[in-house]
Amino acid sequence: RPMPARRPVLTANSRLTPQRLLIQVIEARNVPMRDKSGRNGQDYYEDDNGRRRQDNNRRSNQRQDFEADDQELLNEMARTSKGGAADRFDFDEDIDLVGLRERSRVSPVIKISFRDHEAKTAPAEGTNARWKETITMPLEDLTSDLTPQRLLEMNDNIYVSLFDEVRIKQGNASRRGVSGRDAGEQEGMLEQRYLGQLSIPFSTVYKAGRVEGFFKVMTPDVTMGYAAKRGKKNSGYDSSSQGASRSAWAGIGGIPGFGGGNTPSGGGRPSSPRGGGDDGGGGGNAAFSTSAQELMIQGESATYLKVMCTLDPHLPAPNLDVDIVQADESGKLVRHARHWLAKMRGWHGDKDGFESREDRVFEAMVPNMHGEHVFLSRYLRPAGQAPPSDSLYRWEEGGAPKPPSGDASYGYRQDVAHCARFVSMIPFLDDFKAFKEYDMWCTSGQFLDILAGDWGEHAVLLWNYFQWLKVNGKWPGNRDDVVFYLVIGRAIPEGHSVYVLQYYPGDPRTAVFWNACTGHAYGAGDPRCPLQDVGCLVTPDNIYGNTQRDGRPQVLSQSGGLDVTDASRWQPFFNPKMSKDKRDAFRVGASIQEPVLDYLRPANDTTCEELQEQLEELIKTHLRGWREKLRQSRGAKTKFTEFMKIELRNRLAEVLEQLESNKVSSNPKPIDYSRIRQQTNDRELHAVTLNFPYTDTEAVLDKIKTVGAHECMHDDVQYLLAVHVAPYPCGIFSVWVYYGTALPIGR
């Protein structure tokens, strides 16, 4: 009898030939909508005394706009009544003009970019749009000599950008650069206005096999011409028709009480904020808070996209569990670590047996820069590490410190906000891409010398800063009962991740999880928290492995699952009842962290101004080049606003400086846009602010190009551009860019 033919064993290389990357765009939540109340999207402005005033003429025009919109919507419903307008808009009885307005005032489109490939979805409708559309990206150019190691080292990201697609009617076709015979041939031209972006590392998709969930969109702190939803605390209802539709929405830029959403993400940095803001997309005015309740309110107003990414066909998942071969620890400690990890990754726990989740992350020892494994708790220093002091910002003896924002009235403080902001401004770099190794952990001093690191380095530094604040009585409320944990877990979109947990024992509802890379915090009860599963909680003395079936922060906070003293929920590395002699036998060394960190002084004003000018000229030059490629036969000129004189440039710079200051202020100042409006009365502005840590000019240009403003085909388009650089210690720069288009009104 002949033996059955063997199926060939497929390697990663042999299976890559037909590989495709599948991205399914499912739905969006809280997409900003067009604000017709003003030409630059601002309802209100603040006078010199900070009082909020409203232009009566603009209010009258706004009412007329809404009445015209309502009539247009009613006419549309009348025309489609036979086709079931109620079914089309999902309304059963009364006509909901508020809902209709929201649907008619934003047309979200998703653009997917991966390497040299681009594709976009069909336009949807409304602030809570649905697509359920799958986009396929070919991977033919990735099939040459790729191994699992090479796939893990790939530094390519999948960029998912959110735009509003605006159609210009035939009568206004000339507004988009279409005139004469071209205008007669087209019903209208489409303009795509940038609303935000998120990025998913390709290596994460490969490691996980499938990445899916609601991803927080990094929305700009200011998006002129759009309104974004406020949290419930700020949602009131006006009795007027326009108030009913806009009470829960705030113009993005200048409306107090709404937080910015732009995060300085770059490279493989997880989306989840820093645009500056991933708290929600908006005006950059949300007060900095460590309150779980306040953070959840801010999270309600953020913009989210539900996306699924996978490879077709699936590739075998790589084995990321590295054996402890060489260690800077005692043999007894290494053997115990191997045993504990094997136990956590296998069967253990209750009488029915607990099978650890396959994707749950457990760590006990991590490799240092020399490749030697070190007990993870030793990266935490019980006394913490001091953040930069105000003396670094004093340029004159006896003078007041000049903080990064330039706001001397607020000053610089060693507080939670400044610590989180400073850590988030250190550029992100994944170990797979930096050292070609699975993982490598630096001390805080090494991290500041290299000025790049991944989730581990950022979280460890933030933990040590928070611990120092607590030990030195500088934690908010001077509370000494707060406990901090280093969290090893799984998050979206990055997969394996490291967070910091702020926890008050006995009150799990107040727990807060910090993403140190973005500077964003999430209330533990927030179902939108990017942290999907908690694997370990680490202290300077011990490591606690999670043995609960559901490791989501929301579930843990509601069920009392954050209490590490509960042996039925957590498996400690060292048994708390272990005698001191037995503990000493493991010969655990002291913390490997530097007792005192050395900080270089921030760059002076001259250096910042030179960098600002360099970046501004670089952006202008490349903007001209991008437009020439799009319109080779038209000889289009790239013009910058004729009103870009000193006065306007100063106003734009003041806005950017204030946005930087608001990032760390518990009482942020409202931003005055009235003087910008006064100088742009004959133009309609569509501009955004971008904020990110400076790494290199190529990264800056990539972020500018993503906005897509260079694709504007209007014959009389002019560009708005301003750059501001805020210096931080150790050669760190926070870069702000004000960028967009200025179109003539009524053409």
Alpha-carbon torsion angle 373, 376, 379, 382, nearest 10: -140
- 568: which 2 tokens? 């039925």
Q: What confidence score (pLDDT) does residue 101 get?
A: 55
DSSP H stretches of helix in 8-158: 12-16, 56-79, 85-89, 97-104, 148-153
Rounded to the nearest 10 degrees, the angle between the axes of helix 697-707 and helix 605-630 is 50
- d(C-alpha 202, C-alpha 156), whole Å: 6
Q: Which of 422, 466, 431 is nearest to 452 (CA)?
A: 431
- d(C-alpha 560, C-alpha 227), whole Å: 39
CB 193 within 8 A of CB 225: yes
Neighbours of 590 (CB within 10 A): 9
Q: What confidence score (pLDDT) does residue 746 get?
A: 62
- d(C-alpha 306, C-alpha 468), whole Å: 38
* 605-744: in CATH 3.40.33: yes
Q: What confidence score (pLDDT) does residue 682 get?
A: 76
DSSP H/E element including 561: none
Q: Which of 307, 304, 255, 309 is nearest to 282 (CA)?
A: 255
Average pLDDT per 10 consecutive residues for the chain, totaling 747 residues: 47 55 95 69 36 42 49 49 39 45 77 92 94 89 62 83 78 41 52 93 86 93 83 38 33 33 40 34 57 86 94 75 75 94 71 58 93 95 94 71 63 84 93 64 96 95 97 88 96 93 90 95 92 97 96 93 94 93 92 96 93 95 90 66 70 89 80 75 86 95 94 84 94 95 75
Q: Which of 638, 654, 662 is nearest to 720 (CA)?
A: 638
Residue in the structure block whose two tokens are 């997880």? 270
- d(C-alpha 601, C-alpha 393), whole Å: 7
CB 126 within 8 A of CB 103: yes
Q: What confidence score (pLDDT) does residue 335 get?
A: 93
CB 282 within 8 A of CB 218: no
Q: Would you say the CATH fold of 605-744 matches that of 13-48+107-312?
A: no
- d(C-alpha 404, C-alpha 727), whole Å: 5
- d(C-alpha 729, C-alpha 715), whole Å: 45
DSSP H/E element including 520: strand 520-523
- 252: which 2 tokens? 């993005």
Query: Is the bond preceding 83 in cis, omega lying within 30 degrees of 0?
Result: no
What fold is seen in the domain 331-384+423-584? C8orf32 fold (3.10.620)
- 304: which 2 tokens? 């989210």
- d(C-alpha 89, C-alpha 332), whole Å: 67
**SS3 of 623, please?**
helix
3-state secondary structure 199-230: EEEHHHHHHHCEEEEEEECECCCCECCEEEEC
Q: What confidence score (pLDDT) does residue 211 get?
A: 92
Q: Which residues contact 181 (CB under 8 A, 6 or more apart)?
A: none
- d(C-alpha 88, C-alpha 354), whole Å: 49
- 413: which 2 tokens? 């403080």
Phi, then psi, of 82 in degrees rounded to 5: -70, -25
- 98: which 2 tokens? 């508020």
- d(C-alpha 451, C-alpha 428), whole Å: 9
Neighbours of 621 (CB within 10 A): 12
- d(C-alpha 650, C-alpha 171), whole Å: 37
Domain definitions of the chain by residue range: 13-48+107-312, 331-384+423-584, 605-744
Q: What confidence score (pLDDT) does residue 344 get?
A: 92
Enter the CATH code of domain 13-48+107-312.
Answer: 2.60.40.150
DSSP-derived pairing of the beta strands 639-640 and 718-728: parallel
Q: Please tell me whether the overall predicted TM-score, pTM, comes out greater than 0.75 for this model.
A: yes
